[in-house]
Chains A and B, each alone.
Chain A
Amino acid sequence: MTRRAAVLATFALLALAAGVASPAVPPAQGPAVAVVVGRDVALADLSLPDLRRILLGDRQFWGDRTRITVLVPPPGSPERAVVLRVIFRMRESEYRQYWIAKIFRAEVTSGPRVAGADQAKRLVDATPGAIALIPASAVDGSVKVLRVNGIGPGQAGYALR
């Protein structure tokens, strides 16, 4: 049938063009990324699944019903690559599609906010319920560092690197 042949030809042409739009794969390991919160957050440790739920917008409130404000590293930064690989398990393009779908489904009113390390520390200190991901090397006394699965950023077996 002519129409069926046209279909096969279309699919074959599309297949020949494969590989053009392949995004880069994030590196297998990067710098340690610390999870920091304000001193008002009554937590010292988060499990990796709970951290995932927070950063993915599936959990939007702390236990005291304070809304969680998420600050993520800027696109292109080494910390961003770690976060995408370990937390989101997505490429940058998939991450964008994830948030577009989440916003469109009315599950959240907006996505995370981007902040570099210094800005993130200032905002975490000043914003009730904020949580940020910053290079472990940038941690100072202005913020509280959370352990992930009971392990801190400087310890062996830390998940976010």
Chain B
Amino acid sequence: MRSLLGPGVVALALAAGPAVAQQHRSAVEVIGFGDFNFFVTERPVPDGFRSGQLAGHVGAALTPRLGIFAEVTASPVATASFNLEIERSILRYDFADYLKLSAGRYHTPMGYWNTAFHHGQWLQTSVNRPEMVKFGGQFLPVHFVGLLAEGSLGSGGLAVRYHAGVGNGRGTNIARGGDAGDANAQRAWVAGVSVSPGTPRSLAIGAGIYTDRARPAVGASVDERMFDAFLAWTTERPEVIAEYARSRHEQDAGPRATSEAGYAQVAYRLPGPASAWKPYARYERVKVPATDPLLGTLGLNYRAVLAGVRYDFAPVAALKAEYRREKPGGAVWFETVVLQVSFTFPRWQEEQASSPEVNP
């Protein structure tokens, strides 16, 4: 039943969007994303066609200062048809550019990728996220449930953005945020700052910290202190994204270890008549010592080199072909070829203005 419920609810939400938007055209934006994949791989996982993820996003301005954002996905899983997940659900009050307060479920604002691309595969250049921020991964807590303050300062050519938040941190399943309450009495804290020129899609350099006391389902509690730094130069010609995270894990009077992860991706949209094409390459690594009391037994070590090309064959759809050489866990390298078609819908266009629309 749940397998039918997932895509059903997403489809219903997406279908309901235009109707709602017709009544309050200025206040509601509905965007959907989907993808479909073909894999040939040496890894011990099934080859062949794979349904991708269907993601739906709704954003609505309830008043000029109060807005809601929600993201829902339906993902194929081996044990059922699809799994429904509320990825983000945020209520935000904008006092001004320098202060916006919100509550809800977020993608943890650590680093760049986790908050830049979310679940729309069409938005990102490559087929998948880097391993360190993959959905369902354990190195970085992908989701965060709590409160967040954020804002931007500065004018003209330089903008400084900041955020700071408090939340539940990892759940007893450390891949998940504490959706139904914290696993212990120690809250997680996250904070970060980035600077960037005011011009679009230019250079952004940032750093952040995350602290929590994780209580995994098995074993003792572990103090976690993570530091992350990134550089993102997203001009298309070129696109350079690099990120590094270092996470210290320590048990009371017990083992302690530091794990590291990072990636560097370079892409370049070709000029002139070939501008629909965007070749890219990425190197990534996750390094977790066996003595890490939180992550050491999970087999998270990973290295990969990948290269691919993205072809935007329509304004709302892209075909990606990617080759990966990767070493997950053990000492063996595996090769994988992926073809992915990703898309967004409906074709977004600004709404026509009218008096009621610009005065929500």
Contact = CB atoms under 8 A, between A and B. Distances in A.
Contacts of A60: 94, 97
Contacts of A19: 273-274, 276
Contacts of B314: 21
Contacts of A122: 355
Nearest to A106: B69
Contacts of A97: 123
A114 to B, nearest CB: 5
Interface residues of A, number: 63
Contacts of A61: 94, 96-97
A71 interface: yes
Given A20-B276, A53-B156, 12 more contacts: A10-B337, A19-B274, A22-B273, A50-B155, A69-B358, A72-B350, A89-B200, A98-B201, A103-B29, A105-B116, A110-B59, A115-B352
Interface string B291-335: 000000000000000000101111100010101000000000001
A44 interface: no
A77 interface: no
A155 interface: no
Given A14-B319, A93-B312, A112-B350, A106 B344 contact: no
A53 B198 contact: yes
A50 B158 CA distance: 10
A111 B156 contact: no
Given A20-B276, A53-B159, A119 B67 contact: no
Contact of B323 (A7, A18, A21, A52): A7
A127 to B, nearest CB: 5
B3 interface: no
22 contacts: A6-B40, A7-B337, A14-B309, A15-B277, A18-B273, A18-B274, A18-B276, A19-B276, A49-B157, A52-B199, A56-B200, A60-B97, A61-B94, A67-B65, A89-B200, A96-B347, A101-B123, A104-B31, A104-B71, A110-B61, A111-B351, A115-B353
Nearest to B315: A93
A47 B156 contact: yes
A18 B319 CA distance: 12
A14 B348 CA distance: 26
B59 A89 contact: no
B201 to A, nearest CB: 7
Contacts of B201: 98
Nearest to A8: B323
A112 B309 CA distance: 32
Nearest to B200: A56
Given A60-B94, A114-B350, A127-B359, A100 B26 contact: no
A18 to B, nearest CB: 4
B64 interface: yes
Contacts of B311: 14, 17, 21
Contacts of B321: 7, 10-11, 14
Given A49-B156, A101-B123, A120 B353 contact: yes
B219 to A, nearest CB: 35
A75 B349 contact: yes
B81 interface: no
Interface string A33-60: 0000000000000010110110010111
B27 interface: yes
Interface residues of B, number: 70
Nearest to A60: B97
B351 A113 contact: yes
A20 B313 contact: yes
A3 to B, nearest CB: 6
B313 A110 contact: no
A105 B335 CA distance: 33
Interface in B254-278: 270, 272-277
A3 B199 contact: no
A114 B351 contact: yes
Contact of A21 (B42, B95, B313): B313
A51 to B, nearest CB: 10
B85 interface: no
A127 B198 contact: no
